[in-house]
Amino acid sequence: MKLFLFIFTWAILLQTVVFGQTNSQQQNASQPKDAPINVTITDFKKNVLVHEIVVFRSQLTQKEYQGMSQDNGQFSLRLPAGDKYEIFILGFKDSTSYNVLEIPALPANASYKNPFVVDIQFQPSKTFVLEDVNFETGKADLKPESFAVLDELVAYLNRKDDERIEIGGHTDNVGKPAANILLSMERAKTVMAYLITKGISANRLTAKGYGSTVPVASNATAAGKAQNRRTEVKILE
């Protein structure tokens, strides 16, 4: 997924900082403080989004913290204070950085009591191309470099276990249209069969061959033809 449409908001509760002078706080005054973070993920219609992975990357250390939304579209985590965090939502082999959350540093005898509230609204892409899924010329046999990408698709489908997908095969315009439709269908079926061998239910998968009927680039150049020869995944409603 190349891009996400999104709205991101956060609220810092002003009453979150509390002060105290316990022995344990004094002993740990030099240790990093952390803050509770409550995250909610929905689409633009306020429908909760399940099993979305959100990553917070520290600008100071580049360390990453992540959580996955549960059935209510929410999760919680804790992040060290005194840092800024880039926020990403993971897609399939892709992620988009779209905002930064700052958690101010705390005095030695203070701590965050109430959570930072992070509300994310976004619409994931419904289609994506399986880059590096390639076939032998004129055949439906997968080349070895394809398996790593397909295994990542398996991992994605295991995480998003409520999704159904269409696997679409596409060709360039070389050859007869009817033959291209047949070849693209056989290639889509090959990908589908691979996913099934890895444990993905056939009920979640549909294969379709489009031949050269849906180009994404001009077939007048070799580069355009290469773009048109693709395997595309579409998320079904």
184 class by beta-carbon count within 10 Å (0-12 exposed, 13-18 middle, 19+ buried) = buried
Q: What percent of the chain has pLDDT over 70?
A: 86
172 and 229 belong to one structural domain: yes
Report how many domains make up the chain: 2
116 and 215 belong to one structural domain: no
Last residue of a domain, one of 123, 138, 164: 123
CB-CB neighbours of 59 under 10 Å? 11
pLDDT, tens only, 152-182: 999 999 999 989 999 999 999 999 999 999 9
pTM for this entry = 0.79
Dihedral sign for Cα atoms in the order 236, 137, 179, 211: positive
CA 102 remoteness from chain centre: 23
117 and 131 belong to one structural domain: no
Q: Mean pLDDT for the chain?
A: 87
115 and 151 belong to one structural domain: no
119 and 135 belong to one structural domain: no
pLDDT for the residue 109: 83
pLDDT, tens only, 110-156: 889 889 999 999 888 899 999 999 999 999 999 999 999 999 999 99
pLDDT at 223 over 60: yes
26 and 64 belong to one structural domain: yes
DSSP 126-184: SEEE-TT--B-TTS-PBPTTHHHHHHHHHHHHHHSTT-EEEEEEE--S-S-HHHHHHHH
Note down the domain range covering 202: 127-236
Token pair 């909760």: residue: 48
Q: Which residue did the predictor score with more confidence, 95 or 34? A: 34
pLDDT for the residue 163: 94
87 and 138 belong to one structural domain: no
150 and 72 belong to one structural domain: no
Last residue of a domain, one of 97, 123, 149: 123
pLDDT, tens only, 191-222: 999 999 999 999 999 999 999 999 999 999 99
- Could you tell me which residues are beta bridge partners of residue 231? 169
Amino acid at 181: I
Q: What percent of the chain has pLDDT over 90?
A: 75
Q: What average pLDDT does range 86-101 have in this prediction? A: 84
156 and 202 belong to one structural domain: yes
> What does the alpha-carbon distance between residue 230 and residue 228 come to, in Å, rounded to a whole number?
6
Cα–Cα nearest to 91, from 47, 49, 57: 49
31 and 79 belong to one structural domain: yes
Last residue of a domain, one of 108, 123, 138: 123
* CATH at 188: 3.30.1330.60
Q: Which residue did the predictor score with more confidence, 2 or 151? A: 151
111 and 178 belong to one structural domain: no
Q: What average pLDDT does range 44-55 have in this prediction? A: 93
pLDDT at 32 over 60: no
Which two three-digit tokens encode residue 193? 């069969």
193 and 217 belong to one structural domain: yes
* CATH at 70: 2.60.40.10
